[in-house]
Amino acid sequence: MPESSVRPASRRRFNAGSVATHAVLSLGALVMVFPFLWQLLTAAKSLAETAKVPPTFLPDTWNWSSFEEVFTALPFKEMLFNSVFNTVGRTVGQLVFCSLAAYAFARMRFRGRNVLFALFLSVLMVPSSLLVLPQYDIIQRLGLLNSAPALFLPGMFSAFGTFMLRQFFLTLPKELEEAARIDGAGPFRIFWSIMLPLVRPALAALAVITAMWSWNDLLWPLIVNTDPEKMPISAGLTSLEGQFETNFPVMMAGSLIASLPMLVVYVFLQRHFVQSVALSGSKS
């Protein structure tokens, strides 16, 4: 088939197809993003305006009092702080504990390694509902109910994180370790100053995904911290519903503030989010 007879036709089809593709994709993107736009617009309306039929799209007057109301109705500042504490605690814990274990599993030889690793991996398959009753008892016995550590203690240990980091450690060349060993570096020194910096992308990916799960977690905080002052924002937000049954501007303002920190993290570290999800998809 002569080149020239194919080219123009296929190019025209390509352009029309490209427009159609963008149309479909944009429509989908609108469905994904519109609820957040509506959330913001509602938060900026007065209570009376939200009860209008048909609804107004833009607020008649932009009114931000709902945001203030959220902070007076709930110990919102404390809740946000508890969320930060919970998120940092779990993330730092996982980075430390998982990277240490992952390094040993990937790069060191020791008796029982494979059995231990299999045992650790089995944690991945246990649904959390099988664990939370006794976990609650443990926290209670430690006298930690309604405390900040209660939120993050069990979440500091992760089989997923260990598995993911181990995959990364496995890819590093052996020569680095051997050279360091000849120079007299001990195992911890090799881990800390040579190997760990090399898996930084994996650490970043693990950090953002752990931060996201921690910030968004609901079941565990609902169980251990029932005092509003000690709740993270995920659990605290649920009480807004009982208090403000039909006051949608306040509920939208509250949910907006509560989800904003993670969205900001997402905007700045998007690459790592995508990386961590793509990794979890390809490595398992």
Nearer to other proteins, 76 or 103 (CB): 103
Work out whether 85 is an interface residue with other proteins (CB under 8 A): no
**Number of chain residues interacting with other proteins (CB under 8 A):** 105
Figure out which of the listed residues 11, 12, 16, 18 binds other proteins, where binding follows CB under 8 A.
18
- For the bound state, the minimum distance from the C-beta of residue 123 to other proteins, rounded and expressed in Å, comes to 5
Work out whether 19 is an interface residue with other proteins (CB under 8 A): no
Please report, as residue ranges, which positions from 113 to 132 form the binding site for other proteins (by CB under 8 A). Answer: 113, 116, 119-120, 123, 125-132
Figure out which of the listed residues 32, 58, 115, 118 binds other proteins, where binding follows CB under 8 A.
32
Longest CA–CA separation in the chain, Å? 81
Work out whether 176 is an interface residue with other proteins (CB under 8 A): no
Contact by Cβ (8 Å): 258, 232: no
Work out whether 70 is an interface residue with other proteins (CB under 8 A): no
Nearer to other proteins, 61 or 282 (CB): 282
Work out whether 48 is an interface residue with other proteins (CB under 8 A): no
- For the bound state, the minimum distance from the C-beta of residue 68 to other proteins, rounded and expressed in Å, comes to 18
Q: Which residues of 112-127 are buried (b: 16+ CB within 10 A; e: fewer)?
A: eeeeebeebeeeeeee
Please report, as residue ranges, which positions from 132 to 171 form the binding site for other proteins (by CB under 8 A). Answer: 132-138, 153-154, 156-157, 159, 162
Assign 3-class secondary structure to the chain. Answer: CCHHHHHHHHHHHHHHHHHHHHHHHHHHHHHHHHHHHHHHHHHCCCHHHHCCCCCCCCCCCCCCHHHHHHHHHCCHHHHHHHHHHHHHHHHHHHHHHHHHHHHHHHHCCCCCHHHHHHHHHHHHHCCHHHCHHHHHHHHHHCCCCCCHHHHHCHHHCCHHHHHHHHHHHHCCCHHHHHHHHHCCCCHHHHHHHHHHHHCHHHHHHHHHHHHHHHHHCCHHHHHHCCCHHHCCHHHHHHHHHHHCCCCHHHHHHHHHHHHHHHHHHHHHHHHHHHHHHHHHHHCC
Nearer to other proteins, 68 or 178 (CB): 178
Six token digits for residue 62 = 């932009």
Nearer to other proteins, 81 or 266 (CB): 266
Please report, as residue ranges, which positions from 177 to 216 form the binding site for other proteins (by CB under 8 A). Answer: 178, 181-184, 186-188, 191, 212, 215-216
Print the binding letters for residues 226-245 with other proteins: x by CB under 8 A, - otherwise.
Answer: -------xxx-xx-xxx--x
Work out whether 98 is an interface residue with other proteins (CB under 8 A): yes
Q: Name residue, tokens 């990277």.
A: 99
Closest CA to 212 of 272, 123, 157, 159: 272
Six token digits for residue 153 = 């203690």
Contact range with other proteins by CB under 8 A, out of 32-40, 73-81, 84-92, 197-205: 32-40
Work out whether 270 is an interface residue with other proteins (CB under 8 A): yes
- For the bound state, the minimum distance from the C-beta of residue 8 to other proteins, rounded and expressed in Å, comes to 16
Work out whether 251 is an interface residue with other proteins (CB under 8 A): yes
Nearer to other proteins, 71 or 97 (CB): 97
- For the bound state, the minimum distance from the C-beta of residue 61 to other proteins, rounded and expressed in Å, comes to 18
